[in-house]
Amino acid sequence: MKSSALLNIISYIQLISRVKIIIHERELTLFMNYEYDEQYVEQELSKESDWYVEHKEDVSSLRQSINTLLSTNSIQSIYNLLVCFEDINLVNTFRAVPDIAYCIIGITITMTEFNIQPTNSIFLLNVLSIEELINKINKYKFLLLNIEFNNDKDKAMCNITNDYVNNVISPAALYYLIQCSSVDSKHIFDEICNYIHDNNYEDKYVQLLDTYNKLAK
């Protein structure tokens, strides 16, 4: 059974996906009402600036703690990091900070790996800093975007599939990376599944489908 903390963070990941779908409608509305748009942006920038002034030391301390736990690079240190982010108040307070948002994605993936399946791949293992975590997530994000927008698609599909079938990333990691990176996540998931099936990785195909059925409820 998923903990309330994991459910809360999963809800945040799902929110990211929903925002990607509606953002174009919002941008169009704001474009059609320029005066409101300009005022709104100024207000939001002011709020953001005030928030960062108020929480500057807290953000710095949190980054330092995350980097320390990642650089220790043990199962125990990763577990300790997951425990830190079971604090819902911490997640809600800092999830809008861009690099912390990346950390929340990585932590969500690893929480799920620990919760739903034995795995040879732990997403946060051998990731020694926040910077390395951002680079790792972005690597897969750009591969998935290349697949979705048909930019060197065959190479991107081959690279991401090779990492999955060779246990570089787990099925849970692949699922969440698709959710976070793709506009039409279900379509991209189906494309990758079909590619894995067509290349005769039957066990990996079944494992990925099983993970989808558990997480997409």
DSSP H helix total and E strand total for the chain: 10, 0
Q: Which pLDDT does position 39 carry in this prediction?
A: 76
Q: Contact, 128 vs 71, CB < 8 A?
A: yes
How far is 103 from 81, CA to CA, in rounded Å? Answer: 10
How far is 163 from 153, CA to CA, in rounded Å? Answer: 16
5: number of Cβ within 10 Å: 19
- Give the domain ranges of the chain: 4-215
Sign of CA dihedral 12, 14, 172, 99: negative
pLDDT in tens, 6-38: 555 555 554 444 444 333 344 434 444 555 567
Spatial CB neighbours of 212, under 8 Å, sequence gap ≥ 6: 175, 189
What does the chain come to in residues? 217
Q: Which pLDDT does position 50 carry in this prediction?
A: 85
- Along the 217 residues of the chain, how does pLDDT read in single tens digits? 455 555 555 555 544 444 443 333 444 344 445 555 677 777 877 888 888 888 899 999 999 999 999 999 999 999 999 999 999 999 999 998 999 999 999 999 999 998 886 667 899 999 999 999 999 999 999 999 999 999 999 999 999 999 999 999 999 999 999 999 999 999 999 999 999 999 999 999 999 999 999 998 7
How far is 6 from 28, CA to CA, in rounded Å? Answer: 34
pLDDT in tens, 114-143: 888 666 789 999 999 999 999 999 999 999
How far is 145 from 33, CA to CA, in rounded Å? Answer: 31
Q: Which two tokens stand for residue 66?
A: 């995350």
Angle, alpha carbons 20-15-181 (nearest 5°): 45
How far is 173 from 176, CA to CA, in rounded Å? Answer: 5
Residue type, 154: D
How far is 136 from 148, CA to CA, in rounded Å? Answer: 19
Q: Which pLDDT does position 27 carry in this prediction?
A: 43
Block residue for tokens 């994605």: 105
